[in-house]
Amino acid sequence: MTEHFWMMAGIQAAQLFCLAAGFVLRKMGIVTDPLRDGLSVLMLDLFLPCMTLSSFPQELRSGQAASVLLTVGVSAALCVLCLGLGRLLYGRKPPARGKILRYGTMIPNAGFAGLSVMQDAYGAMGVFYASMFVIPIRVFLWSFGVALFTGVRGAGRLRNMLLNPCIAAVYIGAVRMVFRLPVPGFVDSAVSSIGNCCTSVSMLFIGAVLADADLSGLFSRDILGFALVRLAVVPGITFLALHWLPLDGAVKAASVILMGMPIATTATVLASQYGADAGFASQCMFVTTLLSMVTIPLWAALL
């Protein structure tokens, strides 16, 4: 337990270090407004699609189809539940912040950080199920999640989702995995290398946004209440819902740990792109990441 605790705390601490670097660089004037805006575009159109694509296994292992379908189904059901929970809790909040709180309730930081935790704690099998678990999260992120910020509904939302680079990465990754399509090694290597930039660049960006925010409200009632929902209520519901089901231990672990991760880094990027309160989003990211250094190891200890 002690080893897992410090390992997981170390992963979150590394993210906070990158965030602090972005904060300092912004204060020094090195990260300018055009550079910060360019980073958000690169995140949405290049780094995130590459990270999404590289998270797919190259092929399904023998006899795992049923477990994969179950994992994807559990993830989709939890996304729907969190979509409703966010609307219930934050539907009456002012839009500039309410959008962020609803988005953060539904979308955890289940990408690089979540996969890293599963790799270190549960090995290759943990990463495999975690990669399957994030598929519905990606779909909800780039459909319902983006719609929260843009206000686009109906056919417009469907069109935006289908044309989104990250959703395209989901299509490509799923087709390649199911049909075992061969891809040159150098292409895999390039996509993986670009995708690996995602977490560090996103945290630098969030730190730069945080540098312009009012830090007096960093531990406000709204932010601490949201942290309780994101880090305790959502994974708690997941834990109780799955505890008595006859699921593989790695599936349960992936579900609880990934749903207990901090708010997704994309919250700040999307808030910046679509005119929501990006400073508030970066505050939520900082506080939930800081507190998750304690909560994630505790959830892992319960599994």
The values of phi and psi at residue 60, to 5°, are -75, 140
Which tens digit of pLDDT belongs to each residue from 204-261?
888 888 888 777 888 899 999 999 999 999 999 999 988 888 777 778 888 999 999 9
Model pLDDT for residues 260-281, shown as the tens digit of each residue: 999 988 898 899 888 899 989 9
Taking the C-alpha atoms of residue 170 and residue 38, their distance in angstroms, rounded to an integer, is 24
Does the pLDDT at position 296 exceed 90?
no
The closest alpha carbon to 282, from 189, 231, 218, belongs to 218
Phi and psi at 248, nearest 5°, equal: -55, 140
pTM of the model: 0.81
263 - beta bridge partners? 108
pLDDT, position 12:
73
- Cα separation, 270 vs 267, in Å, equals 5
Strand partners, 108: 263
Closest C-alpha among 82, 199, 98 to residue 137: 82
The region, left, alpha or beta by phi > 0 then psi within -120 to 50, assigned to residue 29 is left
Q: Where are the alpha helices (DSSP H) in 107-152?
A: 112-140, 146-150
Catalogue all structural domains in the chain, each as residue range(s) with its CATH number.
2-302 (1.20.1530.20)
Amino acid occupying residue 123: G
Computed on alpha carbons and rounded to an integer, the radius of gyration of the chain in Å comes to 18
Question: For 263, phi and psi rounded to 5 degrees?
Answer: -60, 145
What is the tens place of the pLDDT at every residue in 3-60? 666 777 777 788 789 889 999 999 999 999 899 888 888 887 888 788 778 877 776 6
- At residue 267, the pLDDT reads 92
The kind and range of the H/E element at 39 are helix 33-42
Residue 181: pLDDT over 60: yes
Three-state DSSP at 58 gives coil
The three-state secondary structure class of 277 is: coil
Placement of tokens 């399957």 in the chain: 132
Q: Residue 156's pLDDT is what?
A: 61
Question: For the chain, what percent of residues have pLDDT higher than 70?
Answer: 88
For residue 1, pLDDT over 60 is answered with: no
- Residues 71 and 64: their CA atoms lie apart, in Å, by 10
